[in-house]
Amino acid sequence: MSGRADRDANRELRARFDDVYGQYQQLRSNLDELRTRLAAVRVTRRSADGQVTATVGARGELVAIELDPAVYQDRNVEALSRKITETIRAATTAASDATRELVAEHVPAGAGPVEFLRTGDFGALLGRAEAVLGRGEGPA
């Protein structure tokens, strides 16, 4: 009778392992696709007057900036600086939104990375680890 119980337990464990491994493979595939899509993100914004155009990547890194020749007619350097900064900031905000949407498509809702991108709270990244360690579930 003990042998049958062991076989049943082993069968259940094997089924659970197969399920978890299948979930892992799906998540891994999703992350590979996510990495590819994030690398391709480019967001472009123009200043209100169309004289400044900024393009940024998924992390908000500046990829390109274009200045219309008309910007040189106005000699107000401070105004031009503000216009460039505001245009880059608008592009970066839009890229952050696009990145958050992409990540949310590939990572389970409520997951630490999604919450971190939404709130900027580093605690969201560590929340599960802290919860596990706090309950003593982690390695000894």
pLDDT by residue (tens digit) across 61-120? 999 999 999 998 888 999 999 999 999 999 999 999 998 888 888 776 666 666 666 666
**Model pLDDT, residue 132:** 57
The answer to whether residues 95 and 64 touch, using CB atoms and an 8 Å cutoff, is: no
Report the mean per-residue pLDDT for the chain: 81
Backbone angles phi, psi at 77, to 5 degrees: -65, -40
Helix segments in the chain, DSSP class H? 2-40, 77-106, 112-119, 122-134
Tell me which residue of 40, 34, 41, 87 sits closest to 65, measured CA to CA: 87
Confidence of residue 140 (pLDDT cuts 50, 70, 90): very low
Least confidently predicted of 5-9, 66-70, 121-125: 121-125
Give the pTM: 0.65
**How long, in residues, is the chain?**
140
**Model pLDDT, residue 20:** 78
